[in-house]
């Protein structure tokens, strides 16, 4: 990682790359499978595991608050995707991992 990218991560805002986000989700899925998510949230040790692995692999200073904040964003985006997938005229392209919609359906939706 370049020193400029590393400096970005040490500043006020932590920047998540796609590989970092993917690793976070893989670790948390594994933690949930192991029973480290007894309710609607993960145990603190799960966040510590993510922090440790992200920090080591990507040479950044990741903190539990970064994991918590990013997980909130991921959940919000997932809810938006689920809502759109259920709307008439919208569908999910599993190969591209995107929502697809016909142009006329989209134009009507944007008017609303």
Residue 90 in tokens = 């919208």
pTM over 0.95: no
Judge residue 69's burial from the number of C-beta atoms within 10 Å of its C-beta, 0-12 exposed, 13-18 middle, 19 or more buried. middle
pLDDT band, residue 12 (cuts 50/70/90): low
Residues 6+ apart with CB under 8 A from 31: 37, 42, 43, 46, 49
In the prediction, which pLDDT does 40 show?
Answer: 83
In the prediction, which pLDDT does 111 show?
Answer: 83
Residue 36 in tokens = 């480290």
pLDDT band, residue 13 (cuts 50/70/90): confident
Residue 68 CA to residue 65 CA, distance in Å, equals 5
Residue 42 CA to residue 44 CA, distance in Å, equals 6
């Amino acid at each position: 990682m370049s020193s400029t990218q590393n400096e970005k991560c040490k500043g006020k805002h932590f920047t998540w790359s796609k590989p970092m986000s993917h690793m976070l989700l893989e670790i948390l899925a594994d933690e949930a499978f192991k029973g480290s998510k007894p309710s609607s949230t993960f145990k603190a040790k799960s966040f510590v595991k993510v922090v440790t692995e992200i920090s080591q692999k990507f040479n950044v200073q990741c903190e539990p608050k970064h994991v918590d904040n990013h997980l909130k964003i991921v959940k919000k985006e997932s809810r938006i995707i689920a809502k759109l997938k259920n709307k008439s005229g919208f569908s999910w392209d599993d190969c591209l991992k995107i929502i697809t919609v016909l142009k006329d359906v989209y134009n009507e939706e944007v008017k609303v």
